[in-house]
Structure 1
Amino acid sequence: MKKQTKISRRTFVKTSSAAAGGAYLLSSLSTQADFIKAKGGEVQLNWLGDAKPIHNQGLTWGVSWPKGKIKRNSGFELIADDNQEVPIQSWPLAFWPDGTLKWTGHAVPAIPLLADNFTLKPTTRVKKLEGIKIEDSESLITIDTGGVIYKLPKSGNQIISSILKAGKTMASNGRLILLHQDAADEDSASAIQRSIFQGEISKVTLEQNAALRSVVKIEGSHQSEAGRAIVNFVVRLYFYHKADAFKMIHTIVFEGDEKQDFIKGLGVRFDLPMHDELHDRHVRFAGEEEGIFAEAVRGLTGLRRDPGRAVIEAQLAGRKTPPIEMFPENVSRNIHYIPAFGDYTLFQGDSDSFSIRKRTAEGHSWLNAGKGKRARGLALAGGPSGSFGFGIRNFWQSYPGQLDIKNAHLDQSEVTAWLWAPNSPTMDLRFYHDGMGQDTYPKQLDALDITYEDYEPGFGTAKGVGRTSELNFWVLDATPSHEELNEMMQYLTEPPLLTASPDYMLQVGVFGGLWYTDRLQSDRAEAFDKQLLWYFEFYQKQVEEHRWFGFWDFGDFMHTYDRDRHVWRYDVGGFAWDNSELSTDLWLWYYYLRTGQKEVFRLAEAMTRHTGEVDVHHSGPFAPLGSRHNVMHWGCSAKQLRISTAANRRFYYYLTADERTGDLMREQVNAAESLLKVVPIRKVAPKDTWGTDDPNQVYLGFGTDWGAIAAAWLTEWERTEDKSIRDKLLASMRSIGNQPKGFFSMGSRMNLKTGEFEISKSQKASASHLSAVFGLTEIAIELYELLGMETFNKAWLQYCQYYNASPEEQEKVLGNSLGKLNLAQGHARLTAFAAREKADTRLAKRAWEEFYEGSGGIKSHGQAKFISGNKVLTPRTEAEGVSTNATAQWGLAAMHCLALLERK
């Protein structure tokens, strides 16, 4: 076959500009070579949100590099804007096919970082970093961060056996706690049986043993005394040089029977020695905004007898008070009659209210100590001789949460960070209805027709779903001031992150280059920017107004709005939780790449945490597939790769170097095998289409199925340079390209060992409107650019050009028309890609016509209106015609089309 001549992008800029007055031009990727040359291999880094950390306990981030530029063994140096060199630890995250670095991870220690921006550049200088010291024995890992020593057993139920500072034990017996019930609180059970399931360790791995940042991964399960496990856990502990704190990423996977295993409490607990006098022991909670709850275990204010200003001011500030013998005699002789309050609890029962209570000891009444709306999730106990802080990130957003301090009046107290508060009703994971007689596929399809819910008995189980939480713990020499507590709180709530600019990443060419930056100045770009911002802010407001918060819900959006009831359809089948439908995740991440805005990053981050954990089965019969949209996040019987796809996780992983997100993507590498057991098209296609007796063959659609597998294989190959993964990816691409109708052949059986698809015998061209809208477009374009495989690229270009083409054009080229297809607006970006690659101004014009016509998407943008009064429960904003599917696809199409067709 004669090799097709490809018009260069530079040539297309000139020809399209001449032919169309410059209306349909190329992406700014055309300037990549000049950009990289000018930069000289350096990258400027800025703080996300321009917020430099006043309180720094160490931080990690990721950086992209241009192909062929940075050698795999390169070192790096970080220079602040005042020319001060900052100690830095670096490691590879991904490689280009030529072996050069594509993404790198970096970490800096817990030192002051007061510069506004930094320059990161490769270096050949060998630098020996002095920092964390680690001893790894058969039974114990000891980590010395340069001030704090942690001892981590490799078995048992203690994740940290002791924490020492200056030779003194600051905390001990760190363990994971789960409170179990055999019935829900609301059920009419004659007697509810409660028990504690300890977190038993099965495996400890020193994942990163380095000078500035070290990571320990702890795996295990919560077990009953009889050894029955109902929850698996994966805990990562992060230690930074010179840090007075450590970070925990805490993941659970539910393994129980939701009909009999109810979680009453889930938390992390430590024992603390209490050395100070009762009136020098202090409790702190971070309340709303900058508010701090601050009390001593034995208060000295408000007494009938005045201890004096020196004593009161010292106690209020958390400093050591003068010796008791220096107190006024009428206070010191009766001080033992002042009650000591040993127990404190802050309970955030929902997103809008918290309460603080205290009592002297168990067996006595609680006193109401304070109330508020949204506690920030940080607590502290201790005194002038040392204190221990603990906090849960996104605390009120992930309610019900609880922070406990107990026995602060004794020699040893106990603190617990509750991720699921025992003061709340039990965690109930049961499906929300009894099936309503849907015991056959025809009945289930009839129900789907009216409620959009794809139900099947046994498929609505929560078995295997996960949840990840982030916590921080501080080991302090004294009681921090209120200002210092708020600085700690800021570090917990908004972890500092260094980022490269969207413009830099666009020029480097990662993520397909499918966005534009401020360098693109046009009326169209200005109009799109306004509308993109409007949609983002609208959904921000929906999250707040409709309270899309909670342990299992935070991070997700709802699917469709019910204008009659003025609510999102939270209780209507498949119209409720969105579960990544039509690439909501990708919309947010590409919008972050467009803007670089902190608010966008944080919303996308929360969605990535949620959709990667809660919406996916990580164990059990449906692992590692995700669940389609439903009233329950895990409720739909459509268990599919399009939800669990690594395409939705890659952004967060590469921008933050987050190991847990890396786990989620690695889960998907062999996910195609799961389709042997759980066939996506089992209800709608005859078995001879997908059935096979060969365990090494499985039917995959070339759209949502292969797009997800390709994302997983591409990412794993980039991360590990595993040649077997590369070969499977290439074989799958090549065999799609060799199909009679390419992507329009729709699907085939794939060899699980080689990745190669059988060649279809059918000459009919077909298409599904869903194939390209779950990450296939973005991954296919990235592979197109990355590998330049002629057979694959030809097939992909054909799909891009003819999906939205007229029936006559389709029939002429494909042999038959594709019939009536949906989502033409979202597919306009495919037409735009074909226009760019073929240097075809006619196609470019057609792409914009498809986009603005809005078929299967948004024809005209709705206006928001505010509703209050007796028609709604609470005041809220709604907009005509806005749905999450359409918004996500409009946003992606807008950004992609501009990136592909407009001048920079």
Structure 2
Amino acid sequence: MNCDQIEISAASGIKEGQSVSLKWLDPGHASGLTAGVTWGVPWHRGQLARDEPLELLDEQGLQQPVQSWPLAYWPDGSVKWTAHAAQLPNYGHERFTLCKAAKQAAASASFVSEDDQYISIHSDVLACKIAKQGDILVTSLALNLAASQSDNTARPIAQRGRLKLHVADLSGAAAGSSRHTASKQEYTGHIEQACIENAGPLRAVIVIKGRHMPIGEKLQIGSAGLIPFTVRLIFYRSSATIGLKHTLFYDGDPAQHAIAAVGICFDLPMQGELYNRHIRFAGDTGWFSEAARGLMTARLPDYIRDSYKRQLDGEFVEWDQADEQVQRYRKLLDDAAIWNDFKLVQLSPDSYKISKRTSEQAAWIRALYGARARGMMYAGSEAGGIAFGLKHFWQQCPSGFEVRGLGSEQAEATLWLWNPDGEPMDLRHYDTVTHVLSSYEGDDELRSTPYGIAHTSDCILHLAGQTPSLAELEQLARVCEYTPLLVCQPERYAASSVFGRYSLPDCSTAGHRELEDMLEQLWRFYRDEVEQRKWYGFWDYGDVMHSYDPVRHTWKYDIGGCAWQNTELVPNKWLWYSFLRTGQSELFYMAEAMTRHTSETDLYHFGPYQGLGSRHNVLHFGCGCKEARIGMATLHRFYFYLTADERVGEIMDEIKDADYATVALDPMRAYFPKDEFPTHARSGPDWSAFCANWLVQWERYESQHYLDKIKAGIESLKRSPHRLLGGPTYGYNPETGELSYIGHENYDYHMIICMGGPQVWIELADLLEDEEWADMLAELGEFYNLSAEEKSKRTNGAIVGKRWSIPMLSTLLMAYAAQRTGNKELGKQAWSYLTTVTDHWQISRLTPQQAPILEYPHKVVEVEGLSTNTASQWSLNVLMCKAYIGELLQGASL
């Protein structure tokens, strides 16, 4: 969004109103399909009481059914965020209004019930039975539920929904042998727990948790289950589309076994003629459409052409009984091949293959090659069928679809999240030793382990009574890839202060315009780099790289601490604030993918490192530094509050006690020997990350326990000599939340301010209304860039100016101090570090250049001097400084 496109202004009168304007995130991908949608709305402090009813109105002022629930609260007890669910017609350009209602709407009954064995869904359009034990997760799916709400009156569409897992046994493989040729064992998911997570009148969420077991074995206490999973099924009362979120957790030994396939499978009853049994795959732009038996023979008579066209369109083929030549052709078809099995295999982000075969004894025949399949399959017969969709299908390769038995009485349809035709996962470290000095890997300890990481796939299922038209399938594919979402105007997010204070776009002067243009250039550069560098794959998609190698014309993908970013210097916050201030859908999608990846793969969900994440490395889990800052909750809460995503909410709860993990793995163990304290913590990024986790617990659940821990740490710092200027390393007790002073200048101060800590601290100062804490933050901002002599003078020689570096990183706190104290010179100095000082960590105008054609395998455009650390922090500081000291900006001169 350049300055000419900006339509919003900093003024907002919404605070005084009783309504919130809503629009679709991405009207450009409007499908015209009535869609189930869940979204979040922010509220000003004191604006919405927890018992106040809300209603949803369309553009005509007509009330639309809506389900509402609170997500977070302000300190005064008023509602901070609400979540809403609805099924809205005419998904596209229409806008809606959420407003306070005169009275509470009559409560509607839930469409979910349960007994000892099953959870049952009885919606307006489908029936679903979900098991509470065993290896069949979804017992049945049926369509066209009658008013009697009896499964006997519904049309069965699919049954025996289950999970597939193939594991390659490497224990007996010879050294250097191929993992692809290792013997493989098939596992299936066994349920340990199934429960109703949300059961409102319009939306219901069922969560199923368990482990995989070898086929034929029963899950028992102490049995050798492998690879835990969580599956969430999301239903809307009037929708035949079901959301499915599949989370895979890794708890294996990558040297002993490798995951060779991950799938979600349903059995489909097949009825009717073979030429009315259809398969559909979404290709690059259009659809692969075939049947178990086609109407094409060696020659296609003109009198069959119309029937053939109707067949490919998915219509039932019925023959004219009185037409003799038609009947002769129909008998000829008895000799035609029956194509039982079809599959689409996407092994790379730029190549897929569709194949088919008649039987297991026959060869797979290639139908076509393509580049990027769009992640949607349909399989069905005259009895109806099911469409599978996987979001980010080719981006998270190797993925695929497969249908077996299309010509039999029962077909098996599988969505492959990891395709068995590809190589098994190799989650071993890239070396057998660590490289601290040459590669900035952070620690001599080789703690590279995937044990405890996870991956979540966003999928949909759609039940159809007959083969959908290609236009209908295209709508489903768009709904899958671009999940419908209602959002507020940027002014609403900013004015409500639910994520602290930041600026809206401002092009009022040449200097502001130049900064806005640079902010735009930077995120678009990284958007384009994702494609140019092919940062795709099951375990990689969503992240970006850290540092660039201008000689090889590539990012330092093979240099320990310089490869994947892993939330280093909080690019998540940069992207999310950029979206909030502009409303640009492309920014949302990029931040969404980063959130889904970093909250799962860069973070440990169980095991000895639970609640901690892995610092930047060649592998996402490769660095020996395991720290709380990598996965702190405030990186993910943007997505949670905007979408009410239950999986991200669950993750933020998982990490609330991450500070206890530092007792076993002291983040400062390389610098401080074991002493009288349980562990050590820097005020930032360790304690600030703890505060981020506790802030979310406080606002979501009004937890006094975590509020007390926040206050305990703040009070400790207030008592510390020179308050926040001291340390930055302290003794730490996770039982009390107290920090104990152990000295000044005992670690690098720039670590306090570059990992998201300032945003958390400033937000806490406003929420707590703690003037002394706010003064301490301003004091740190004013003190940070003083000369060594002045630092020593002000502290009577206690602080002599060691380890204070990289002024650009301090500019937010400088701006905060400048506004709080009225020190305009300090504010101008902050702008100088962002716009004119070029000695370190500065952004200059991007000048992309094409690398010499023979020096890289394909054409590539590069910006040699750019690093993601600098891009993230410069952008984040600029968009926040514009809020605090925007009037002091003289000119940019980047």
Structures share fold, TM-score greater than 0.5? yes
Q: How many angstroms does 1:733 deviate by?
A: 1.8
Partner of 1:851: 834
Q: 1:123 aligns with which of 101, 110, 117?
A: 101
Q: Tell me the equivalent position of 2:238.
A: 242
Q: Secondary structure at the match of 1:512?
A: coil
In the aligned structure 2, how far is the partner of 1:112 from the partner of 1:131? 26
Q: 1:740 aligns with which of 717, 721, 725?
A: 721
**Match of residue 22 from structure 1:** none
Amino acid at match of 1:165: L
Deviates more, 1:376-385 or 1:665-674: 376-385
1:419 partnered with 2:406: no
Shift of 1:767: 5.0
Decide whether the 8 Å contact of 1:868 with 1:874 is kept in 2: no
**2:381 matched residue in structure 1:** 383
In structure 1, which of residues 286, 290, 293 is the aligned counterpart of residue 288 of structure 2?
Answer: 293
* Structure 1 position 573, deviation (Å): 1.3
Q: Which residue of 2 aligns with 1:203?
A: 193
Runs of 4+ in structure 1 displaced over 6 angstroms? 763-766
User: 1: CA distance between counterparts of 2:641 and 2:887?
Assistant: 28
Give, in whole Å, the separation in 2 of the partners of 1:216 and 1:898: 44
Q: Which residue of 1 aligns with 2:490?
A: 502
Letter in 2 for 1:432: Y
Are residues 1:46 and 2:23 paired?
yes
Q: 1:822·1:855 contact (CA, 8 Å) conserved in 2?
A: no
1:281 matched to which residue of 2? 277
Mapped pair 1:865 → 2:852: no
Tell me which residue corresponds to 1:139: 117
Asked if 2 retains the 8 angstrom alpha-carbon contact of 1:641 and 1:671, the reply is yes
Task: Determine the C-alpha separation between the residues in 1 that align with 2:663 and 2:622.
Answer: 21
1:886 aligns with 2:870: yes
- Paired letter, 1:756: E
Q: Determine if contact 1:377/1:393 at 8 Å carries over to the other structure.
A: yes
The farther-off stretch of 837-846 and 707-716 is: 837-846
CA contact (8 A) 2:352 2:370 kept: yes
For structure 2, list consecutive stretches of 5 or more residues without a partner in the other structure: 1-8, 145-153, 889-894
Q: CA deviation at 1:457?
A: 5.0
What's the offset of the Cα at 1:855? 4.5
Q: Distance in 2 between matches of 1:305 and 1:548?
A: 46
Match of 2:594 in 1: 607
- Number of the residue aligned with 1:4: none
Q: Residue 442 of structure 2 corresponds to which residue in structure 1?
A: 454
- Name the CA shift for 1:198/1:326 in 2 (closer, same or farther; >3 Å): farther
Q: What residue identity is the alignment partner of 2:823? A: D
What is the deviation of 1:387? Answer: 1.6
Q: 1:105-148 CA deviation, whole Å, 9 max, x = no partner? A: 11102644455211111224121354751111121100112110
CA-to-aligned-CA distance 1:148-178 (integer Å, 9 cap, x gap): 0000011111221100113121000001110
**What does 1:563-574 align with in structure 2 at a 5 Å threshold?**
563-574=550-561
Determine helix, strand or coil for the equivalent of 1:770.
Answer: helix
The Cα of 1:81 is off from its aligned counterpart by 1.5
Cross-structure match for 1:756:
738
**CA 230–526 in structure 1, closer or farther in 2 if over 3 Å, else same:** same
Of 870-879 and 109-118, deviating more is 109-118
Aligned match for 1:304, one of 299, 304, 311? 299
Counterpart position of 2:772: 791
Question: 1:303: how far off?
Answer: 4.1
Deviation at 1:594, TM superposition (A): 2.2
Does the residue aligned with 1:483 lie in a helix, a strand or coil? Answer: helix
Inter-partner Cα distance in structure 1 for 2:621 and 2:391: 24
The 2-side partners of 1:639 and 1:722 are apart by 27
Please give the residue correspondences for 1:428-439 in structure 2 after superposition, counting only pairs within 5 Å.
428-435=426-433
User: What is the Cα deviation at residue 854 of structure 1?
Assistant: 4.2
Is 767-776 or 180-189 further displaced after alignment? 180-189
> Contact (CA 8 Å) 1:742, 1:796: kept in 2 or not?
no
Separation of aligned partners in 2, 1:766 and 1:246: 51
Contact 2:340 2:358 in 1 (8 A): yes
Percent identical residues: 34
Contact 1:319–1:384 (CA<8 Å) still a contact in 2? Answer: no
* Preserved CA contact (<8 Å) 1:767 1:803: no
Decide which of 784, 809, 815 is 2:790's aligned counterpart.
Answer: 809
Q: Distance in 1 between matches of 2:848 and 2:748?
A: 35
Query: Residues 698 and 819 of structure 1: is their aligned pair in 2 closer, same or farther, counting only changes over 3 Å?
Result: closer
Provide closer, same or farther for how the CA distance between residues 587 and 244 of structure 1 changes in structure 2, counting only shifts above 3 A: same
- Aligned partners of 1:271, 1:826: CA distance in 2, in Å? 56
Q: Which residue of 2 aligns with 1:687?
A: 674
- In the other structure, the counterpart of 1:177 is 164
Change (3 A) 1:116 1:490: same
How many Å apart are 1:49 and its aligned residue?
A: 2.5
Q: C-alpha offsets along residues 680-704 of structure 1, whole Å, 9 cap, x if unaligned?
A: 111233333xx63xxxx43221100
Q: Which residue among 215, 234, 242 is the counterpart of 2:205?
A: 215
Match of 2:884 in 1: 900
Q: Do structure 1's residue 699 and structure 2's residue 680 form an aligned pair?
A: yes
Structure 1's 303 and 674: CA in aligned 2 closer, same or farther, altered over 3 A? same
Give 2:815's match in structure 1, choosing from 822, 832, 839. Answer: 832
SS at match of 2:872: helix
Q: Are the aligned partners of 1:325 and 1:332 in contact in 2 as well (CA < 8 Å)?
A: no
Work out whether residues 143 and 156 of structure 2, in 8 Å CA contact, stay in contact via their aligned partners in 1: yes
The verdict on how the C-alpha distance between 1:754 and 1:56 changes in structure 2, with shifts beyond 3 A counting, is: farther
* 1:455 Cα deviation after fit: 5.1
Deviates more, 1:874-883 or 1:326-335: 326-335
1:486 corresponds in structure 2 to 474
Q: Distance in 2 between matches of 1:790 and 1:812?
A: 25
Q: What residue identity is the alignment partner of 2:330?
A: S
Worse-superposed segment, 234-243 or 132-141: 132-141
Alpha-carbon distance change, 878 to 704 in structure 1, aligned in 2, over 3 angstroms = same
Tell me how far 1:822 sits from its aligned partner.
2.4
Please say if residues 753 and 809 of structure 2, whose CA atoms lie closer than 8 Å, have aligned partners that are also in contact.
Answer: no
- Aligned counterpart for 2:585 among listed residues 593, 598, 607: 598
Tell me the distance in 2 between the aligned counterparts of 1:568 and 1:684: 30
2:399 aligns with 401
Q: Which residue of structure 2 lines up, in the alignment, with residue 722 of structure 1? A: 703
Cα distance in structure 1, aligned partners of 2:61 and 2:240: 27
Amino acid at match of 1:64: P
Question: 1:513 aligned to 2:501?
Answer: yes
Q: Does 1:555 align with 2:542?
A: yes
Q: Which moved more, 1:387-396 or 1:784-793?
A: 784-793
Q: Distance in 2 between matches of 1:812 and 1:252?
A: 56
Given that residues 135 and 143 in structure 1 are in contact (C-alpha distance below 8 angstroms), is that contact kept between their aligned partners in structure 2?
Answer: yes
Please report how far the alpha carbon of residue 903 of structure 1 lies from its aligned counterpart in structure 2 after TM superposition. Answer: 4.6
- Root-mean-square deviation (CA), in Å? 2.1
Distance 1:788 1:886, change over 3 A: same
State the SS of the aligned residue for 1:870. Answer: helix
Q: Residues 337, 130 of structure 1: CA spacing in aligned structure 2 closer, same or farther, 3 A cutoff?
A: farther
Q: Per-residue CA shift, 1:590-623, capped at 9, x if unaligned?
A: 1112221000110011001111111111111111
* Structure-1 residue corresponding to 2:566: 579
Any idea what the Cα deviations from partners look like across 1:470-497, whole Å, max 9, x if unmatched?
0100001111111111111110110111
Q: Aligned pair count?
A: 855
Given that 1:283 and 1:382 are in contact with CA atoms closer than 8 Å, whether structure 2 keeps it comes out as yes
The residue type paired with residue 237 of structure 2 is H
Tell me if structure 2 keeps the 8 A contact 1:672–1:698. Answer: no
The secondary structure found in structure 1 opposite 2:46 is: coil
TM-score, normalised via structure 2 length: 0.92
Cα shift readout 1:174-209 (whole Å, capped 9, x = no counterpart): 011101111389725898321111111111120101
Q: Which one-letter code corresponds to 2:605 in the other structure?
A: H
**Match of 1:804, as an amino acid?**
N
Q: What is residue 65 of structure 2 aligned with on the other side?
A: 87
1:447-481: per-residue Cα shift (whole Å, max 9, x none)?
A: 42211123555510111111111010000111111
What SS does the aligned partner of 1:899 have?
helix
Q: Hey, what's the Cα distance between the residues in 2 that align with 1:326 and 1:317?
A: 24
C-alpha deviations, 1:496-525, integer Å up to 9, x for none?
A: 11111111111111211223235x622222
- Give the TM-score of the pair, scaled to structure 1: 0.91
Could you list the per-position Cα deviations for residues 369-401 of structure 1 after superposition, in whole angstroms to 9, with x for gaps in the alignment?
111100001000113431210011100000000
Measure the CA separation in 1 of the matches of 2:58 and 2:410. Answer: 44
Report the residue type matching 2:754 in the other structure. V
The 1:517–1:214 alpha-carbon spacing in structure 2 relative to 1, beyond 3 Å, is: same
